[in-house]
Amino acid sequence: MISRVARRRRQRAVETERRIVSIADWRRPGIRRTLRTIHGVTLIFLLIVGLGPLLWLAKSAITPTQDTLRTPMAMWPHGFDLSYLVTAWTQTHIDRYFMNTVWIVAGCWLVEITVATTAAYALSVLRPRFANLVMALVLATLFVPAIVLLVPLYLTVVNVPFLNLSMIDTFWAVWLPAGANAFNIVIMKRFFDSLPREIFEAAQVDGAGPFRLFWSIVLPMSRPVLGVVSVFAVIGEWKDYLWPLLVLRNPDLQPLSVRLPTLQPSTELDIFLAALLISSAIPIALFLIFQRMFLRGSGLSGAIKG
Amino acid sequence: MSSLAGPKVAATSERRRRGLPTWVSRDGLSTLVFLLPLLVIFGVFSWFPIVRALVMSFQETNLVSPPTWVGLNNFVNVLQDPLFGTAVSNTIYFMLLALMFGYPIPLVLAVVMSETRHFKGLYSALAYLPVVVPPVVSVLLWRFFYDASPTGVFNTILGWVGLGPFPWLQDPGTAMPSIVLEATWAAAGGTVIIYLAALLSVPSELYDAAEVDGASIWNKIWHVTLPHMRGILFLTLILQFIATAQLFTEPFLFTGGGPANATMTVLLLIYHYAFQNSLGGDYGMAAALSVMLAAFLGVFTAVYFWLTRSWSATS
């Protein structure tokens, strides 16, 4: 009996490497009680703060306006009604703005992935002589806060140099600038750098040209990093507000993030809250599915973009 | 490294003798094809606009007539704008408040969370959840929470313990803290994840050694954990400064700078110059103010990259 307990304890110590609190600390009843309390309180705090607002939104999205206004914290004093979600989707054209968002995000994703993979392949595998210069220029953009770009980028989109055309009120105005993301290139290049060179050499001996090497060998090998970049690209673009606000003036083209603030004054509260719930469903679902990707410290790259 | 295939070398030198520019013959057209998306996209949407921002700050630009050089006029105009002082002090106030709310909480949370033995994933998922909610949704939702009437969500909750009702966003004194509170809620999860990773990197032998010397839990946090986290703590501090100075969505949608310009930040002022001017945007002034903000933030960014670089070199 004792040995089993000891074994289990040893096992646990191996599984979770010790941190600040030692096993000896855990054995002392006073400390254990305090720690349990702290952990319990923290969990309750996180539940209320992290999940609470979203649960409230979910509750209110199916509650009549008057109930939400008079008693915001009561649980359905006069019943609930799932039809608000349907009304929001159909009558306030949330479906159209939702599809706009999907289109914008999909195009941005495609541009970001294309630029990042081709650039990283050229800079990491093909390595031309001027690769270091190009990489330095890409890294230099990380030093420039995004705000500096706002006005000149807007003017560039209004009148694209050499082409003399305006991208305002087209999705291109959001899609193409999304590709200029230095973080994607850094992450992708770092991954390509770690791929074994022997495979490339073997493929080249077998007669694979640079295009074939890229498409049939490098891309299939980089599925993990493609996943990371994709998920962050999709959530990042879904959250974007200021840029689409500036370049998409036509309400028929605007994504949810731009439409929601303008819809608010003219929309019944229950419908509006239902629209908010619909708008956050996709990013939250993606997060729940790909949790591990987010929680493995890779949030660092998102932090600096601000 | 580009001469991966031996047999090709001969052909390459052959071509070089024929007088093609060496970079084409050595690096090949295909390399250029692969680099093209990067060069075009970064050229048009990143490198060119960055240079243009600098140029524009010395020009008078509108969309009709060609730009004219005006020297330092834009900078002088910005500095003489009475709103400029307000915006700068508001932004600094915002950054300090964000530091007060947003700096200690993630650290405390991360230290507690890294000690849990069960549901580790649940803790971090809950902490990170607000980060993935689109900012526009969070702001619109919180704007409703902040309803100043006694039946507002927060006022109802505070009413249970006999507090309030508070005016939240409608009073110049409480508007900014209210915005910062929401911004902290929306961003803290990211910092918690960074700290959790940093806490894992503290060698457990150090804790063992501290215990031999009879250190209590508190001693261990103070003398082992925190000194080890010094680097990452400084890093998140800089990241937070850079991020908070550039926050736009929150003040723009919560208050739009009001009440009485109490939440007018530098970023809102830039937007105001460029896009909210009834006489047509003053792009020059907007560019000048952006360049000034960038120069200020550039110091922080440079320190950040210098730090991360020296760390990745040592590890």
Q: Is B59 helix (H, G, I), strand (E, B) or coil?
A: strand
Q: Is B60 helix (H, G, I), strand (E, B) or coil?
A: strand
Q: Is A212 helix (H, G, I), strand (E, B) or coil?
A: helix
In this predicted model, what pLDDT tens digit does every residue of A16-70 receive, in sequence order?
Answer: 567 788 777 777 888 888 888 999 999 999 999 999 999 999 988 888 878 888 7
Among B131, B153, B269, pick the best mutation site for testing chain A contact (most A Cβ within 10 A): B131
In this predicted model, what pLDDT tens digit does every residue of B262-291 receive, in sequence order?
Answer: 889 999 999 988 888 766 678 888 999 999
CB atoms A72 and B153 under 8 Å: yes
Give the Cα-Cα-Cα angle B156, B157, B158 (nearest 5 degrees).
95
In this predicted model, what pLDDT tens digit does every residue of A96-155 receive, in sequence order?
Answer: 999 999 999 999 999 999 999 999 999 998 888 888 999 999 988 887 888 888 889 998
Give the count of Cβ contacts less than 8 A between chain A and B: 327
CB atoms A300 and B199 under 8 Å: no
CB atoms B115 and A39 under 8 Å: yes
| Neighboring chain B residues of A283 at a CB cutoff of 8 Å | 132-134
DSSP, residue by residue, A114-130: HHHHHHHHIIIII--TT
Q: How many residues does chain B have?
A: 315
Which DSSP letter does residue A254 get?
A: -
- pLDDT of B14 > 60? The answer is no
Tokens standing for residue B57: 């700050």
- How far apart are the CA of A239 and the nearest CA of chain B, in angstroms? 5
| Residues in CB range of A81: below 8 A, 6 or more apart | A62, A63, A64, A270
pLDDT band at residue B21, thresholds of 50, 70 and 90? very low
Contact A113, B268 (CB under 8 A): no
- How far apart are the CA of A99 and the nearest CA of chain B, in angstroms? 16
pLDDT band at residue B203, thresholds of 50, 70 and 90? confident
Q: Is A233 helix (H, G, I), strand (E, B) or coil?
A: helix
Domain spans of chain A? 2-60, 88-305
Question: What structural domains does chain B harbor?
Answer: 6-56 (no CATH), 74-314 (1.10.3720.10)
CB atoms B45 and A176 under 8 Å: yes
The amino acid sitting at B133 is V
Among A17, A20, A115, pick the best mutation site for testing chain B contact (most B Cβ within 10 A): A20
Predicted-complex ipTM score? 0.84
CB atoms A241 and B249 under 8 Å: yes
- How far apart are the CA of A172 and the nearest CA of chain B, in angstroms? 12
CB atoms A115 and B41 under 8 Å: yes
Q: How far, in Å, CA of B58 to CA of B41, rounded?
A: 26
CB atoms A72 and B46 under 8 Å: no
CB atoms A261 and B136 under 8 Å: yes
CB atoms B129 and A54 under 8 Å: yes
Which DSSP letter does residue B67 get?
A: P
Residue B101 burial (C-beta neighbours within 10 Å; 0-12, 13-18, 19+): middle
Q: How far, in Å, CA of B112 to CA of B82, rounded?
A: 46
| Residues in CB range of A235: below 8 A, 6 or more apart | A283, A286, A287, B132
Predicted structure pTM score: 0.83
**CATH 1.10.3720.10 correct for A88-305:** yes
| Neighboring chain A residues of B115 at a CB cutoff of 8 Å | 19-21, 35, 39
- How far apart are the CA of B223 and the nearest CA of chain A, in angstroms? 11
| Neighboring chain A residues of B32 at a CB cutoff of 8 Å | 128
- Scanning A159-268, the segments in alpha helix (DSSP H) are 172-178, 182-194, 197-205, 210-212, 219-221, 223-239, 242-247, 256-263
| Phi, psi dihedral angles at B69 (to 5 degrees) | -75, 135
Mean of pLDDT values over B141-170: 85
Q: How far, in Å, CA of A63 to CA of A56, rounded?
A: 10
Tokens standing for residue B103: 């700096």
Contact B38, A119 (CB under 8 A): yes
Q: Is B242 helix (H, G, I), strand (E, B) or coil?
A: helix
CB atoms B151 and A71 under 8 Å: yes
pLDDT recorded at residue A258: 93
pLDDT band at residue A304, thresholds of 50, 70 and 90? very low
Q: How far, in Å, CA of B11 to CA of A269, rounded?
A: 72
